[in-house]
Structure 1
Amino acid sequence: MNHPAQIRIPATYMRGGTSKGVFFRLQDLPEAARQPGAARDALLLRVIGSPDPYGKQIDGMGGATSSTSKTVIVSSSSRPGHDVDYLFGQVGIDKAFVDWSGNCGNLSAAVGPFAIAGGLIDPARIPADGVCAVRIWQANIGKTIVAHVPIVNGQVQETGGFELDGVTFPAAEVPLEFLDPADEGDGDGGAMFPTGQLVDTLDVPGVGVFPATLINAGIPTIFVNAADIGYSGTELQDAINADPAALARFETIRAHGALKMGLIKTLDDIASRQHTPKIAFVAPPADYLSSSGKPVRAADIDLLARAMSMGKLHHAMMGTAAVAIGTAAAIPGTLVNLAAGGGKRRMVRFGHPSGTLRVGAEARQEDGAWTVTKAVMSRSARVLMEGWVRVPGDAL
């Protein structure tokens, strides 16, 4: 019996923020995978090693967590004012799906460095030394990100002293600006506050009736108070992920929140929409020990935040959810803002399972409606491996 030989595809394995994934230039993909559709999804699933009923992704590049089962496609942009288009695919682990419904804020930090190294940026825009502002069109959600990439001797500077909780080793800082991060009403789910309310009420069978802030900013996110669902806000991964009943409750809350946001038509639709919306729970500041054993003091943070990603509590904080936190914190009256003490604020530092993160947002109210011009935070990025990935020739 004849079996197809493997094909090899140029690729780069990169860490961006607290995530890592396989990066491709669009032009390097097999022709059938250069367009959205079944062939592209099949290729990316095989690259990552999914679907894997063992949940390990042993036969692929994935790391069997939501933070490491990720793919990115980057191409030169024809959109005015932009350098590259960035498309993010969240790959299922034990199921055969690639979710294209949202962005990865962490991997956004790696897009600029990848584009520069991959020859996708006009050389005239890259200084010999300094900072290159890479203008990125985030194609999943139709938003602009500006990555400020440090350059030394004409090359991306990857090493440095910037420390990011959730990442073991320091690296060079990559500040990110998420421009106009809120949905203006022409995207999936409607306006920044899809119900028109800063705080809604969710009635979730088997869980209870409690307030929630439903927001489209960075990524569609459902915020609830930790105390309202039986938590303190200081929980680490095992407290949630080792409890199947807790995971089921969170998924039920997520489904009801998604329905109220207009992201799904029926509760059953949530099964095919794993990446978005996110669900997060917040609380006022408190002392706790991070997952590395590092103390986090209440005096050093504005609030506590924990978020679920692909059905599990995230080990740190998704970059897009951090944008949602910063945006909601800047708007008086949201649950995030109230957990941080209320009032107007342009910057918050929140505690997450791996430590703390600082994020800012510029919000203003016009004619009773809130708008956010940009959210800002810093991440880091580093190439882990570059060359080719190999997949069986019948993978597409």
Structure 2
Amino acid sequence: MAHQPQIRIPATYMRGGTSKGVFFRLQDLPEAAQVPGAARDNLLLRVIGSPDPYGKHTDGMGGATSSTSKTVILAASDSPDHDVDYLFGQVSIDKPFVDWSGNCGNLSAAVGPFAIANGLVDPARIPDNGVAEVRIWQANIQKTIIGRVPMVDGQVQETGDFELDGVTFPAAEVPVEFMNPADGEGALFPTGNLVDELEVPGVGTLQATLINAGIPTVFVNADAIGYTGTELQEAINGSTEQLAMFETIRAHGAVRMGLIDHVDEAVNRQHTPKVAFVAPPKDYEASSGKSVRAPDIDLLVRALSMGKLHHAMMGTAAVAIGTAAAISGTLVNQAAGGGDRDSVHFGHPSGTLRVGAKAVQENGEWTVAKVSMSRSARVLMEGHVRIPGDVLA
């Protein structure tokens, strides 16, 4: 039996925030994969090494977690208001599909550096020294992101002393702004309510804040589901029963938010919505051994991604947290002590994160102009990925 040889595709392996993924220029992909469809999905699945029933990604570039099974496709933008078009694909670990339904906020920090280094930004917009403002069109959710990339002697500055909980080593700070983060036509709350009564079979009726900001997210109170908000990954990810409970909450939240018509459809929409639980501040020890003190934070948040408790916090979920915290009456705002605020400092499994957001209410509707946070990004490897040629057959 004849087998097609491997093909080589230019690619860069990058860390952005607390995630990492394989970055491609659209023009470098095989022609069949330059458009959405089965060829593109099959290519990305094989690059990452999915589906992998062993859950290890031994034969691919993935890291067998939601944070490390990610792909990005970038192209120079045709829009005069944007520099680069950014498409994100969340690759399932154990199933043969790529979820295109949302953004990755962490990898958003790496888009600007990659775009500059790979000739996707007009050189006239890039200073030799200072900060380059990269205007990013997030194609999955049709939103604008602004990345502020430090430059030194005409090159992207990657090294620095900015520390980000969940990332081992310091790097250069990359501030990121998510503009008008509400999905759709600016409707932050798809049900029209700041808090809903969400009926979840086998769990009960939970108070929930259902919000579309950064990424659709279902927030519930930690104590309502038997948690304190100080949990680390091992407290949840080893329990199939607990993970099933969270998936049931997520599925029913997705129906209530109008993202799917029936809970059975949630299995094919793993990336969105996210489900998270919140609690007032408490002392705890982060996964690194770092002590987090209650007086130093506003609230606790734990979030699940692709069916598992996240080791830190997804950037898009941080946008949802910052937005909800800025709106008096949401569960996130209540856990943070209530009242008006334009930033929130929350504890997650790896440490803490501060997010800025300013909400205003006009004609009874809440809007948020932008949510901001600081991340970092770094090239880990660049060159070519190889996949068997029959993947595209």
Q: Counterpart of 1:115 in 2: which secondary structure?
A: helix
CA distance in 2, matches of 1:226, 1:85: 37
Q: Output the TM-score relative to the length of structure 2.
A: 0.99
Q: Counterpart of 2:94 in 1: which secondary structure?
A: coil
Instruction: Give the match for residue 55 of structure 1.
Output: 55
CA distance in 2, matches of 1:51, 1:258: 24
Q: Which amino acid aligns with 1:210?
A: L
Q: Counterpart of 1:326 in 2: which secondary structure?
A: helix
Tell me which of 284, 299, 302 is aligned to 1:306: 302
The reply to whether residue 246 of structure 1 matches residue 245 of structure 2 is no
Instruction: Give the match for residue 388 of structure 1.
Output: 384
Q: Which amino acid aligns with 1:318?
A: M
Alignment of 1:339-358 (within 5 A): 339-358=335-354
Q: Which amino acid aligns with 1:269?
A: E
Instruction: Give the match for residue 360 of structure 2.
Output: 364
CA distance in 1, matches of 2:169, 2:77: 33
Alignment of 1:151-162 (within 5 A): 151-162=151-162
CA distance in 1, matches of 2:155, 2:372: 24
**Segments of 4+ moved more than 2 angstroms:** none
Per-residue CA distance 1:97-149 (angstroms, 9 max, x = gap) = 00000000000000000000001111111111000000000000000000000
Instruction: Give the match for residue 148 of structure 1.
Output: 148
Question: How far does residue 203 in structure 1 lie from its aligned partner after superposition?
Answer: 1.0
Instruction: Give the match for residue 9 of structure 1.
Output: 9
Instruction: Give the match for residue 128 of structure 1.
Output: 128
Instruction: Give the match for residue 200 of structure 1.
Output: 196
Instruction: Give the match for residue 221 of structure 1.
Output: 217
Instruction: Give the match for residue 336 of structure 1.
Output: 332
Instruction: Give the match for residue 284 of structure 2.
Output: 288
CA distance in 2, matches of 1:132, 1:52: 40
Instruction: Give the match for residue 113 of structure 2.
Output: 113
Q: Which amino acid aligns with 1:270?
A: A
Instruction: Give the match for residue 256 of structure 2.
Output: 260
The reply to whether residue 91 of structure 1 matches residue 91 of structure 2 is yes
CA distance in 2, matches of 1:262, 1:50: 29
Q: Output the TM-score relative to the length of structure 1.
A: 0.98
CA distance in 2, matches of 1:120, 1:209: 49
Q: Counterpart of 1:321 in 2: which secondary structure?
A: helix
Q: Which runs of 5+ in 1 are unaligned?
A: none
Sequence identity, in percent?
78
Question: How far does residue 184 in structure 1 lie from its aligned partner after superposition?
Answer: 4.0
Per-residue CA distance 1:287-308 (angstroms, 9 max, x = gap) = 0000011000000000000000
Q: Counterpart of 2:89 in 1: which secondary structure?
A: strand
Question: How far does residue 2 in structure 1 lie from its aligned partner after superposition?
Answer: 1.7
Q: Counterpart of 2:132 in 1: which secondary structure?
A: strand
Q: Which runs of 5+ in 2 are unaligned?
A: none
Aligned-CA RMSD value: 0.7
Q: Counterpart of 1:233 in 2: which secondary structure?
A: coil
Q: Which amino acid aligns with 1:200?
A: D
Question: How far does residue 209 in structure 1 lie from its aligned partner after superposition?
Answer: 1.0
CA distance in 2, matches of 1:248, 1:5: 41
Aligned residues between the structures: 392
Q: Counterpart of 2:42 in 1: which secondary structure?
A: helix
CA distance in 2, matches of 1:218, 1:147: 15
Question: How far does residue 79 in structure 1 lie from its aligned partner after superposition?
Answer: 1.7
